[in-house]
């Protein structure tokens, strides 16, 4: 039989056979019974069975498949999707696709509140910049693939002139003490206890991922992840660090939980899709109830991924601190792809998903970056109820990666970086400053959400190597 005639799992998945057991059964039965038929004929049969399993319950060959599908459909929950209002910040700068995705998320029966941040743009499932509060359930793709993606800033005692006098040294320190793309540290020196935690014994998936977590610790991956040297300007006399007003050397990093978090996200998104069986347009918003074992498993795994992301940042910052021979005066960090147990103003206990959004409870510190050539801001949350205690996680994309590569040139990028006095190690046109919204407009749209404590101006930017 030709290889082209063989059925594959992904062929059946596209037809709607999302349950792994039913998919395997269907491949075996149809593969044997219609061994000499074309692949098109087999796919046609399978399509008809899944659309109308009742027509095949008496078929001596295909009945086992039909019975399984009919049983699953009989157990399927009936959901009511209903529009609900939500707050949008900076609506004029947000594309319609992101607003549509947020409306779909708000219509879920488990959703009780939501908000869209001013850096929002279209993603998968919940838009980037979407904040969603759900009751008794959690949405793996509402958190996203890069679980626990976060910002981390260390402020050092050295002043601005240290950076300008030691540019070559700082470039070497960045190159020696960071890893991007598929590159990892060979020594993996660490003094944290993350990889010794009991959760690795409690959940088989985590046990399977432990070696990957060890190999990748302290690395930053690709995309928009970075580690920068820059200048922090403390502009607020009542800052939490007790620092005098002025300019300081600082390191700012942005990355998440690497392959560790991605595997968790994809595994439990697939489980959620199989359990909920939602319409295609909202399938990525499939949820797990917290009274289900899978919901509890995901919660444990998600929190582990968040802690792993934090450990990775601390690994980076300790290496750089040791190379500088300086201790940091202060550190600020926050997740922005995560879910938290919180209480709304009306007293309801919920799970707040912030997919590309910064927690901003009253008095809570965080970092909101711009682009490789624009400032990042240290912010203090104002606890805005309509925003569900949230703010933007950055400037937000204006152009997709593909459009940015087609729209801009390397000459344009070099000229912009020269104009801003920024040196780039790695990076590419997909992360060019022009690909992002104006961070000043974004900050202006969320004055009711955060106060600015200080600003970070990037001067030496380290990213994954450019493909351009």
With cut-offs at 50, 70 and 90, classify the pLDDT of residue 90: very high
**Closest residue by Cα to residue 130 from 448, 438, 356, 341:** 356
Q: Residues 393, 117: contact at Cβ < 8 Å?
A: yes
The pLDDT, as a whole number, for residue 4 is 58
Task: Please give, one letter per residue, the 3-state secondary structure of 117-148.
Answer: EEEEECCCCCCEEEEEEECCEECHHHHCCCCC
Q: Where are the beta strands (DSSP E) in 222-343?
A: 226-234, 246-255, 288-289, 328-335, 337-343
Contact indicator for 338, 390 with CB cutoff of 8 Å = no
pLDDT band (50, 70, 90) for residue 3: low
Question: How long, in residues, is the chain?
Answer: 468
pLDDT grade for 238, boundaries at 50, 70 and 90:
confident
Over residues 55-83, the pLDDT tens digits come to: 999 999 999 999 998 887 766 677 889 99
State residue 248 phi and psi, 5-degree precision: -135, 150
Q: Is the pLDDT of residue 145 over 60?
A: yes
Q: Looking at residue 7, what is its pLDDT? A: 87
| pLDDT tens digits along 388-423 | 999 999 999 999 999 999 999 999 999 999 999 999
Give the lowest-confidence range in 43-57, 74-88, 246-260, 294-308: 74-88
Rounded average pLDDT over 4-26: 85
Average pLDDT, the chain: 93
Calculate mean pLDDT across residues 355-359: 97
Q: What topology is assigned to 150-256+277-333+359-462 in CATH? A: tRNA-splicing ligase RtcB (3.90.1860)
For residue 15, what pLDDT is reported?
87
Q: What average pLDDT does the segment 8-23 reach?
A: 86
- pLDDT bin (cut points 50, 70, 90) of residue 114 is very high
Q: Domain limits of the chain?
A: 3-75, 150-256+277-333+359-462
Is the model's pLDDT at 188 over the cut of 70? no
Among 13-22, 73-82, 366-375, 388-397, the minimum mean pLDDT is found in: 73-82
CB-CB contact of 147 with 306 (8 Å): yes
- Which alpha helices (H) appear in 151-221, and where do they start and end? 160-165, 167-177, 199-202, 204-216
């Amino acid at each position: 039989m030709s290889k082209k005639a063989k059925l594959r799992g992904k062929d059946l998945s596209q037809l709607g056979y999302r349950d792994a057991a039913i998919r395997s059964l269907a491949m075996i039965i149809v593969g044997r019974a219609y061994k000499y038929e074309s692949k098109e004929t087999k796919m046609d049969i399978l399509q008809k069975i899944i659309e109308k399993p009742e027509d095949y319950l008496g078929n001596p060959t295909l009945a086992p498949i039909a019975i399984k599908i009919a049983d699953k459909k009989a157990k399927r929950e009936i959901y009511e999707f209903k529009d609900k209002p939500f707050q949008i910040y900076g609506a004029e700068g947000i594309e319609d696709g992101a607003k549509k995705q947020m409306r779909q998320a708000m219509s879920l029966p488990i959703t009780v509140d939501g908000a869209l941040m001013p850096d929002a743009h279209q993603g998968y499932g919940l838009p980037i910049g979407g904040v969603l509060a759900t009751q008794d359930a959690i949405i793996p793709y509402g958190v996203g693939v890069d679980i626990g993606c976060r910002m981390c800033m260390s402020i050092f005692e050295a002043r601005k002139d240290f950076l300008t006098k030691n540019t070559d040294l700082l470039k070497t320190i960045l190159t020696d003490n960071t890893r991007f793309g598929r590159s990892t540290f060979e020594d993996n020196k660490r003094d944290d206890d993350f990889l010794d935690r009991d959760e690795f014994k409690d959940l088989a998936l985590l046990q399977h991922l432990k070696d990957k977590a060890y190999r990748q610790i302290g690395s930053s991956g690709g995309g928009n992840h970075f580690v920068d040297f820059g200048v922090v300007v403390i502009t607020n006399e009542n800052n939490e660090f007790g620092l005098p007003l002025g300019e300081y050397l600082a390191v700012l990093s942005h990355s998440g939980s690497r392959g560790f978090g991605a595997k968790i996200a994809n595994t439990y998104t697939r489980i959620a899709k199989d359990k909920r069986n939602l319409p295609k347009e909202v399938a990525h918003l499939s949820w797990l109830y917290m009274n289900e074992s899978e919901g509890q498993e995901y919660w444990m795994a998600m929190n582990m991924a968040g802690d792993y992301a934090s450990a990775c940042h601390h690994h980076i910052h300790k290496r750089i601190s040791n190379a500088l021979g300086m201790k940091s005066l202060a550190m600020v960090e926050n997740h922005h792809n995560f879910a938290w147990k919180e209480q709304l103003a009306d007293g309801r206990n919920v799970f707040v998903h912030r997919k590309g959004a910064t927690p901003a409870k009253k008095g809570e510190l965080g970092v909101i970056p711009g682009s490789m050539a624009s400032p990042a801001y240290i912010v203090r949350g104002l606890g805005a109820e309509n925003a569900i205690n949230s703010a933007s996680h950055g400037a937000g994309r204006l152009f997709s990666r593909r459009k940015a590569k087609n729209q801009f040139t390397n000459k344009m990028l070099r000229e912009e970086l020269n104009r801003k006095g920024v040196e780039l190690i790695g990076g590419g046109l997909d992360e060019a400053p022009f690909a992002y919204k104006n961070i000043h407009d974004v900050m202006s749209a969320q004055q009711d959400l955060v106060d600015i404590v200080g600003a970070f101006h990037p001067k030496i930017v380290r990213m994954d190597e450019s493909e351009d």
